[in-house]
Amino acid sequence: MVVHFLIRGRVQGVGFRWFVHREAAELGLRGWVRNTDAGEVEVVAAGDAAMIAELRVELRKGSRGSRVDAVIEHELTDAEGESLGAFEIEGAW
């Protein structure tokens, strides 16, 4: 299963990408997380449906200091996830 998430709220400058990276890596998911220019955080995650469901729950909770107002989700095709490697933070300093 491959899913694209867009998280809206206070999710930049509060360690949200690092939180997502830790959660996704612990679940054994492949993919990436990055900030958007619009102040949101974008996630693409691939793996077992049960693990994606666990990540979804954590994304809605958010990290300490964050505020999640909305999680917009789109399922992608399996082919779109074939090139994804170990979960990483894109654009990290």
CATH classification of the domain holding 19: 3.30.70.100
Domain presence at residue 42 = yes
* Count of structural domains, the chain: 1
In angstroms, the Cα distances linking 73 to 32, 39, 51, 56 are 15, 17, 15, 9
Q: Are 45 and 73 in contact (CB under 8 A)?
A: no
Determine which helix (DSSP H) or strand (DSSP E) holds 83, and give its type and residue range: none
Q: pLDDT by residue (tens digit) across 39-66? A: 999 999 999 999 999 999 999 999 999 9
Find the domain containing 31 and state its range.
2-79
Q: For residue 58, give every residue at least 6 positions away whose Cβ sits within 8 Å of its Cβ, in sequence order, or none.
A: 19, 20, 23
Domain presence at residue 21 = yes
Q: Which residues are catalytic?
A: 17, 35
Domain presence at residue 88 = no
Domain presence at residue 93 = no
Q: What is the mean pLDDT of residues 8-19?
A: 96
Domain presence at residue 89 = no
Domain presence at residue 7 = yes
Share of the chain above pLDDT 70, in %: 98
Domain presence at residue 6 = yes
Domain presence at residue 85 = no
